């Protein structure tokens, strides 16, 4: 346990030293304030207007749930159910200076950082806020290793995959400009044989490189919640403090189908939402 804890501490320090303290960045996205335009279609789970039928219901408004909801909303009605609160309630989430502070907070069951122990016994944290763990992490951004796609056994359209990366990157990813002492560390890596020198790249490459950041040059965090702004507000509803308790199934001759969910709001009141058609 002590070894695991020390490893975690060293990893956090490594990320903090090599990543968070870049004072200037050259953007893939444009530096700006965190964009909360999506608040126009965010509701508290207590709102009865949320109860109804949708083409899709997404459980969890995190790193994957937000971009998925935005994408689907181009052609379908979508409800996102997020058990956490809005990031606006926790200003420290939105700055690089608040990164360590948030990890040090006690978990009271409502804070944006939830502590848990993994199946192999490692202490860990995950996000409990709209934007998920992308709102509490060190902001390191890198594309997946190409071997991942090769090993899945699925025939991927890599042109579409790369377009999807760019869809994310032009909103929330920035290019750090290393300071002198960080360049020295990079040089030390190269001298230690961690080759080649890839310069800046968001690709998953062997060697030494400077990778992307979801913190901009003002130290502002940009996270997956901002990808909701790419969705169609007429087709998209997001509920916060909505804890999904059960999935409702229907069985017939063709099999078992999920047709809806039961969720509770912050007052403990139960609500239901359903999927249109056959689920």
173-191 per-position pLDDT tens digit: 999 777 677 788 889 989 9
Percentages of the chain per state (helix, strand, coil), in multiples of 5: 35, 30, 40
Here the tokens at position 84 are 């956490």
Q: Which residues pair with 261 in a beta bridge?
A: 247, 273
pTM of the prediction?
0.86
Number of other CB atoms surrounding residue 176 within 10 Å = 24
Lowest mean pLDDT among 22-31, 74-83, 189-198, 245-254: 22-31
Phi (first) and psi of residue 263, to 5 degrees? -135, 155
Q: Mean pLDDT, to the nearest integer, of 123-145?
A: 96
What single-letter DSSP state applies at residue 143? Answer: P
Fold of 2-275: FAD/NAD(P)-binding domain (3.50.50)
CA 236 to chain centroid: 18
pLDDT tens digit string along 192-241?
999 998 888 899 898 988 889 999 988 999 999 999 999 999 999 999 99
């Amino acid at each position: 346990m002590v070894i695991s804890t020390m490893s975690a501490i060293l990893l956090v320090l490594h990320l903090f030293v090599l990543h968070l303290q870049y004072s200037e960045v050259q953007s893939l996205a444009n530096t700006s304030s965190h964009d909360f335009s999506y608040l126009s279609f965010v509701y508290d789970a207590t709102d009865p207007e949320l109860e109804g039928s949708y083409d899709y219901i997404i459980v969890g408004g995190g790193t994957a749930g937000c971009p998925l909801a935005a994408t689907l909303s181009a052609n379908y009605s979508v409800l996102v159910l997020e058990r956490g609160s809005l990031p606006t309630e926790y200003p420290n989430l939105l700055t690089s200076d608040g990164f360590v502070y948030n990890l040090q907070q006690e978990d009271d069951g409502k804070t944006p950082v939830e502590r848990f122990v993994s199946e192999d016994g490692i202490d860990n944290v995950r996000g409990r806020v709209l934007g998920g763990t992308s709102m509490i992490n060190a902001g390191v951004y890198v594309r997946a290793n190409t071997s991942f796609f090769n090993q899945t056994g699925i025939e991927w359209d890599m042109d579409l995959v790369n377009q999807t990366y760019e869809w994310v990157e032009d909103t929330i990813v920035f290019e750090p400009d290393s300071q002198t002492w960080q360049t020295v560390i990079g040089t030390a890596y190269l001298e230690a044989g961690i080759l080649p020198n890839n310069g800046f790249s968001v690709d998953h490459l062997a060697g030494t490189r400077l990778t992307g950041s979801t913190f901009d040059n003002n130290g502002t965090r940009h996270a997956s919640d901002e990808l909701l702004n790419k969705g169609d507000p007429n087709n998209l509803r997001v509920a916060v403090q909505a804890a999904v308790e059960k999935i409702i199934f229907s069985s017939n001759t063709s099999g078992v189908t999920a047709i809806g969910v039961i969720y509770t709001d912050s007052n403990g009141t139960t609500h239901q939402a359903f999927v249109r058609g056959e689920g």
